[in-house]
Structure 1
Amino acid sequence: MRGTAGSPVLVVTGGTRGIGAAVAHRAVAAGWRVCVTWRDDEAAARDTVGALRALGGSVVDVRADLADDGAAEAVLDAAAVLGPVTHVVANAGTTGRLGRLVDTEAAVVRRVVDVNATGTLLLARECVSRWEAVGTPGVLVTVSSVAAQSGAPGEYVAYAASKAAVEALTVGLAKEVGPSGIRVACVSPGTTRTGIHAAGGEPGRPDRVAPSVPLRRAGEPDEVAAAVWWLLSDEASYVSGAVLRVSGGL
């Protein structure tokens, strides 16, 4: 049954566009209750939430900036109207503008690190605190990028550094909370056709970089969402501390 008291409750940050929205659609289709967060694009949020509810899903949305103090607590409190939160996808992120690090303003560097690294750390901290308090064997899936390995020179070194932090968080936290039955894993996408490229100043970037990908194409949001969904599922019950690359061979 859809949206019943026994179904899982999933929080997806940055869940109204791109990869996050694709994850939310999979969850609602499976009968999960879902809370999605968004920050700027209210029109996209309304469209996504409307589509999810049209599928019969129990859905709430929260406007939140995960870099803000108290945002993690506010999001989890809002999601609790659906029931105890059992699964979280830390997907919200930003690249900043494409360009060399030396040409990137300090405020942009701080913003990228605050959203991608600090925001994910604080969300993870709050999830674990709540799950350990009541003995919930929760699942946290973080979203990194292959930039964490490549360094993204000439494009977004600060973003790459922030995503490397997300991967370190995944590995360390998984070891820390494994004895509590909590799983933490990460998906590391390659270039994917989402709005993040336009926000970074180059909407056509997926087509530009596609020839450098072994599969010779950019990924689609649902291809990455499939990996996230698997990590959330019981099929991945023995997977923790792993970073799963979904990158077309990069």
Structure 2
Amino acid sequence: MESTANASPADLWDRLFGTQAAPEQWLVIAAGVVALAVVVPHGVWRVARNAITIAHEGGHGLIALLTGRRLDGIRLHSDTSGLTVSRGKPTGIGMILTAAAGYTAPPLLGLGGAALLSSGRITAFLWIATALLIAMLVMIRNAYGALTVVVAGGAFLVVSWLAPTDVQAAFAYAVVWFLLLGGVRPAFELQSKRRHGGAGDSDADQLSRLTHVPAGMWLFLFHAVSLCSLMGGGRWLLDV
């Protein structure tokens, strides 16, 4: 198949805004199995979780900007933690939405990606993801974070620009499955940490202080968003 690198501008425009044929069902299922094999084993997850952290902190940053806050920068750390710093009113709806965006961003991104893939817009998904990573790179404020985003963005760029259509499809479906499946695990990890007295300054605890709603209710919201996104996105990907 012809790669994007060999296409004319008209072909590129058509591939970005047009639709591509859906891959075989076995490839969709295989992509899900690969994603599950990355999310479940602890050793592999410790590395792969960096990608979820990118989406998590990117969610904080995007909502901060959309709610009128000033985004000072984003840091990603080698222990897969992250920090997004924004300035503005320390209370109110803008701060609440910004704090709530972290744990909900990966599964919602996966749900949005599933919607694009189910409508045949594989190339559009890859290019949108690349653009978001490039935009995020501008706000990264530490070397490890920059390296992580460059590696992720480079992978999307190479696949979207050079890979044949079937490879693009396999990569896109694996990424979306990973966001959906990987978006579920962090809320359970946070729940475990809080049960053992840790994570006292987690997003759920910050939201509790902002809204006077118990942190456990916010944790329930994180679970609900991630599990509903997985069920809805999975149905779209499997076309059932």
Query: Looking at both structures, which has the greater relative contact order when contacts are Cα pairs under 8 Å and sequence separation is at least 6?
Result: 2
The structure with the larger Rg is 2
* TM-score past 0.5 threshold: no
The TM-score, its normalising length taken from structure 2, stands at 0.29
By percentage of residues, which structure has more strand?
1
